[in-house]
Amino acid sequence: MQPKILGLISINIPSIRWVPDDIDTLSSQSSKGLSQKSKTASPSFLHLPKVLSKLSTADSSTSATKSGSSSHHSTTFRYNRHHKRSALELSEDDLVSRVHPQNQSSFFDKLPPEVRNLVYGYVMGEETVHLTMGAKKRFAHFVCQDECTSDYISSRDEGRDDRVDQGWCRCKVLVGGKAHSARYLEGLPHLYNNHTFSLLHITHLLYLPKRTPLCTLTHIRSLCLRWSIRALPYYYRAMSHKPTLAYPEDTENWERAWDILGNMDGLRDLRVVILSREGIWEAAWLSLEEKLVESIKKVARVKRVEVVLPYQSCRVDWDVGNVVFSRPGNGRSIDEV
Please tell me which residue, 206 or 125, carries the higher pLDDT value.
206
Q: Given a cut of 70, is residue 205 above it in pLDDT?
A: yes
Residues 211 and 65 in one domain: no
Write down which residue in 41, 73, 105 finishes a domain: 73
Residues 186 and 288 in one domain: yes
Residues 49 and 137 in one domain: no
Residues 217 and 133 in one domain: yes
Beta-carbon contacts of residue 53 (< 8 Å; ≥ 6 apart): 10, 59
Residues 159 and 292 in one domain: yes
pLDDT at 170: 39
Write down which residue in 13, 38, 73 finishes a domain: 73
3-class DSSP assignment, residue 198: strand
Residue 92: pLDDT band with limits 50, 70, 90: low
Give the DSSP letter of residue 310: S
Going by C-alpha positions, the residue among 174, 189, 162, 193 that lies closest to residue 269 is: 193
Residues 57 and 134 in one domain: no
Q: Is residue 95 part of a domain?
A: no
Please tell me which residue, 7 or 161, carries the higher pLDDT value.
7
Length of the chain, in residues: 337
What are 147-193's pLDDT values in tens digits?
443 333 444 444 433 333 333 333 344 444 444 555 566 666 777 77
Residues 241 and 309 in one domain: yes
Residues 192 and 314 in one domain: yes
Q: Is residue 79 part of a domain?
A: no
Own/partner long-range contacts of 202-207 (Cβ < 8 Å, ≥24 apart): 202/227, 202/228, 202/253, 202/257, 203/133, 204/131, 204/132, 204/133, 204/139, 205/257, 205/260, 205/261, 206/253, 206/256, 206/257, 206/260, 207/133, 207/137, 207/139
Residues 173 and 258 in one domain: yes
Q: Tell me which range, 23-32, 115-124, 291-300, is most confidently predicted by mean pLDDT.
A: 291-300
Count of structural domains, the chain:
2
Q: Given a cut of 70, is residue 99 above it in pLDDT?
A: no
Q: Is residue 80 part of a domain?
A: no
Q: Is residue 93 part of a domain?
A: no
Beta-carbon contacts of residue 165 (< 8 Å; ≥ 6 apart): 144, 145, 148
Residues 143 and 63 in one domain: no
Indicate the pTM of the whole model: 0.55
Q: Is residue 113 part of a domain?
A: no
Distance CA 129, CA 174 (A): 9
Could you tell me the residue range of the domain that residue 127 belongs to? 121-326
Q: Is residue 78 part of a domain?
A: no
Amino acid at 58: A
Residues 162 and 246 in one domain: yes
Q: Given a cut of 80, is residue 207 above it in pLDDT?
A: yes
Residues 134 and 237 in one domain: yes
**% the chain with pLDDT above 90:** 28
Q: Is residue 195 part of a domain?
A: yes
Write down which residue in 12, 44, 73 finishes a domain: 73
Q: Is residue 219 part of a domain?
A: yes
